[in-house]
Structure formats: structure tokens, C-alpha cells
């Protein structure tokens, strides 16, 4: 799979494509930290109460040539500094330990998201946003907050966009889009029904669609022009979504800067104008 730092992230991104039993097997294997280059297939299968063939099937569905490649990928990942960043928060943790664990988990999300970033897809997204007539952002809940953050940044450099966090408003937006327009759809799971419905309508009207999601094989990812993936390890208390948003914010910051660079002179000029416009609202 290339970069060892990307192994766990690439596995997590493929989990939605597995059956419940296959996902359980994958989860059992990922939960083990004692796997080494000599761990036999039979032992792994027995611990999950499945056949050897099932373990091999899961390995292949996760993108590996077979069990041996899967095993080696995990061994390489667990040797990386990135794998050691995450540790679960316990009820006995002190304030210092909690701060350290939360920050290190966020660092892991950033490292792994960077490792899996498809630069060709990223550059296409930048090009779409730069040339778009209308830029509409779709997202609910926490995803809407990320959409508002990047829309704010774009406005500072004179690139206007609209944020929609309501199912009806998203559909109205999608109905009015055309081939010159772009939608950026935010959905951590890639299964948010309201977002999927609006994206489907926007796509049928010819708009380009960029998805920001945690799962490369989610329903959303399968119906868009560009997929930008974030990733984060699930945590019982923090949750997967909260940590993934840290990675998404950084990913969208990079998208904003790269889009600004397409016309840096205009971006700088508009940035100066918008900064001056709000200067009077600051107390001296």
C-alpha cells in the first residue's frame, strides 16, 4: 500500500464496503497490536471464529494481495511513529494525560490524512473551484461548520460561495445549478441522505461535485467528480467525527490557499480590502 502511515487509514476507508461479518473480522485484526511477520493465518482466523478463506477474502477486499500482504502492512504501520500517537482516554486519566491524548489523536488524523491525500484529485478540486460560476457547500451538523469556515476564508479573498445546511435549501440550490457550477458536499460517513439527494440533483443538472468524506467507497464518493478523504481513528469518548473534522479543516485550508494561488494578485488585493472593511469593528 506504499506509505506505512497510510495503511490503517486506507483500511478504515474501505470498511463500508464490507459485510457485517467481514467488518468484524477486520476490526478484530486491527484491534490486535501483537501481530508480527510470523503470525499464522490459522491463528488469526481462529480468534475471529472464521475460516482461513474468510480472512484472505477480507484482506483482498481491503486492497491487499492476500493475508501475507495484509499482515506485513499492519506490521509496517505499527512500527511507524503515526501508529503510536493514538491511545484511548480512560476514566483514570489526569488532565495532563487527557490533553496529551487528545492532541496526539488529532496529530495522528493529520498525519494519516496527509498520507492518503490524492494530489491529482486535490488539484482537480482547486481547478473546479477557481473556474466555478457558483460555489455551493452542502453539509449538516459538524460538517456545516467546516463549510462555513472555508466559505468565510473564500469571502476574504473575494471568492463568493453559499453554505446550505438544510435539506430543503440544499435541494433548491441543486435545482438551480448548471455545468459551470460546483458543489462541495461534506459528509463524514458519506451516507447522509439529505446531502446525497441534493448531490444527485446537482449532478443531473451538470454541476461538478467535490466530496469531503471519511470513506472513499461510501455512496457519496461513488457519485461525485472528486473525492477528498479525511481519516481518523474511532474513539469511544471523542468519536471519529470530532477528530476527523480537525483533518478536514486543514485539508480545506490547503484547498483555500491553493485556489487563492490561482490568482494571487487579486486574492491579495481583495484580502486587503476585506481586512480594512472590518478594521473599524475592532476595539483599540
Q: Nearest 5°: phi and psi at 90?
A: -115, 165
Residues comprising the chain, all counted: 284
Predicted pLDDT of residue 234:
61
Residue 176: Cβ within 10 Å count: 13
**Same domain (yes/no): 266, 131:** yes
Point out the domain boundary residue: 99, 114, 129: 114
Q: Nearest 5°: phi and psi at 196?
A: -60, -45
- Could you list the residue range(s) of the whole structural domain that residue 62 is in? 4-114
284 in a structural domain = no
**Same domain (yes/no): 103, 121:** no
Element spanning 183, H or E:
strand 182-187
pTM: 0.84
The CATH number of whichever domain residue 141 belongs to comes to 3.40.50.10490
**Same domain (yes/no): 144, 10:** no
Mean pLDDT by 10 residues, the chain (284 residues): 74 84 88 85 91 93 90 85 69 88 85 90 97 97 92 96 97 98 94 96 98 91 94 64 83 96 96 91 75
**Same domain (yes/no): 43, 156:** no
The CATH number of whichever domain residue 96 belongs to comes to 1.10.10.10
Report how far apart, in Å, the C-alpha atoms of 212 and of each of 147, 184, 226, 233, 243 are. Answer: 10, 7, 9, 17, 14
220 in a structural domain = yes
pLDDT in tens, 238-253: 666 677 788 899 999 9
Task: List b or e across 234-271, with b for residues whose CB sees 16 or more CB atoms inside 10 angstroms.
Answer: ebeebebbbbbbbbbbbbbeebbebbbeeeeeebeebe
pLDDT in tens, 116-154: 899 999 999 999 999 999 999 999 988 899 999 999 999
**Same domain (yes/no): 127, 19:** no
The Cα 234–Cα 244 span in angstroms is: 9
User: Do residues 270 and 160 make contact, with C-beta atoms less than 8 angstroms apart?
Assistant: no
Predicted pLDDT of residue 7:
83
The Cα 67–Cα 53 span in angstroms is: 10
The Cα 228–Cα 220 span in angstroms is: 11
Residue 157: Cβ within 10 Å count: 21
Amino acid at each position: 500500500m506504499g506509505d506505512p502511515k497510510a495503511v490503517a487509514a486506507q483500511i478504515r476507508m474501505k470498511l463500508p464496503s464490507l459485510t457485517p461479518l467481514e467488518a468484524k473480522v477486520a476490526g478484530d485484526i486491527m484491534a490486535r497490536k501483537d501481530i508480527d511477520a510470523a503470525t499464522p493465518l490459522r491463528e488469526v482466523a481462529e480468534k475471529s471464529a472464521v475460516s482461513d478463506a474468510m480472512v484472505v477474502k477480507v484482506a483482498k477486499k481491503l486492497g491487499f494481495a492476500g493475508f501475507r500482504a495484509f499482515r506485513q502492512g499492519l506490521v509496517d504501520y505499527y512500527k511507524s511513529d503515526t501508529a503510536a500517537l493514538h491511545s484511548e482516554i480512560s476514566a483514570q486519566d489526569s488532565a495532563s494525560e487527557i490533553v496529551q491524548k487528545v492532541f496526539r489523536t488529532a496529530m495522528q488524523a493529520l498525519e494519516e490524512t496527509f498520507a492518503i491525500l490524492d494530489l491529482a484529485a486535490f488539484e482537480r478540486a482547486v481547478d473546479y473551484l477557481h473556474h466555478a460560476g457558483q460555489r455551493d457547500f452542502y453539509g449538516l451538523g459538524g460538517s456545516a461548520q467546516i463549510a462555513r469556515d472555508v466559505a468565510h476564508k473564500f469571502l476574504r479573498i473575494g471568492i463568493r460561495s453559499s453554505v446550505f445546511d438544510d435539506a430543503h435549501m440544499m435541494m433548491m440550490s441543486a435545482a438551480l445549478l448548471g455545468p459551470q457550477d460546483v458543489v462541495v458536499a461534506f459528509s463524514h460517513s458519506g451516507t447522509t441522505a439529505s446531502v446525497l439527494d441534493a448531490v444527485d440533483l446537482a449532478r443531473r443538472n451538470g454541476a461538478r461535485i467535490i466530496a469531503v468524506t471519511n470513506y472513499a467507497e461510501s455512496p457519496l464518493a461513488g457519485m461525485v467528480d472528486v473525492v477528498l478523504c479525511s481519516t481518523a481513528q474511532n474513539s469511544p469518548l471523542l468519536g471519529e467525527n470530532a477528530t476527523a473534522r480537525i483533518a478536514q479543516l486543514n485539508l480545506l485550508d490547503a484547498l483555500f490557499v491553493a485556489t487563492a494561488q490561482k490568482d494571487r494578485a487579486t486574492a491579495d488585493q481583495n484580502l486587503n480590502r476585506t481586512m480594512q472593511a472590518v478594521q473599524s469593528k475592532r476595539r483599540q
